[in-house]
Amino acid sequence: MDELEFNATVAKEDDFHKQGCKFQERQFLRAIHEGSVSLLKDSIKKPLLEAYREMGAANSALEGKFTLGTPEASNAAQKRIANASRGITAARDELLKFLSSDA
């Protein structure tokens, strides 16, 4: 949850000159390694996996932005960050719903 919150903060930066902090994935990769993600209900697991897929794509696009420095690379990174932001919100909302339920 902490990593999702941090990544939500990263995704909120809308000034493309300030974009540059990569999305973190250590906690997610550890959860995959330990088998925790496979135990989640599909309603949580699917948006979580999608969010991290989008964050990985955004991190790759940010690398392109840094390496190429072209307007096209910056635009691609912005689009990927926006996609990641929507995914993070969906995953976080599902996780919060689950944590606040009696289940």
Q: Is residue 57 part of a domain?
A: yes
Q: Is residue 63 part of a domain?
A: yes
Q: Is residue 87 part of a domain?
A: yes
Q: Is residue 16 part of a domain?
A: no
Q: Is residue 15 part of a domain?
A: no
Q: How many CB atoms lie within 10 A of CB 35?
A: 8
Q: Which of 6, 4, 11 is nearest to 77 (CA)?
A: 11
Residue 9: pLDDT above 80? yes
69 band by pLDDT with thresholds 50, 70 and 90: confident
Domain count, the chain: 1
| Percentage above 90 pLDDT, the chain | 79
- Tokens for 93, please give them: 């909302």
Q: What is the signed CA dihedral for 48, 51, 57, 61, rounded to 10 degrees?
A: -150
Q: Is residue 14 part of a domain?
A: no
What pLDDT is attached to residue 8? 94
Mean pLDDT of 45-63: 95
Expressed as residue numbers, the domain containing 93 is: 2-9+21-100
C-alpha separations of 88 from 43, 66, 70, 72, 103 in Å: 14, 23, 27, 24, 22
What pLDDT is attached to residue 1? 78
Q: Which residue has the higher pLDDT, 54 or 66?
A: 54
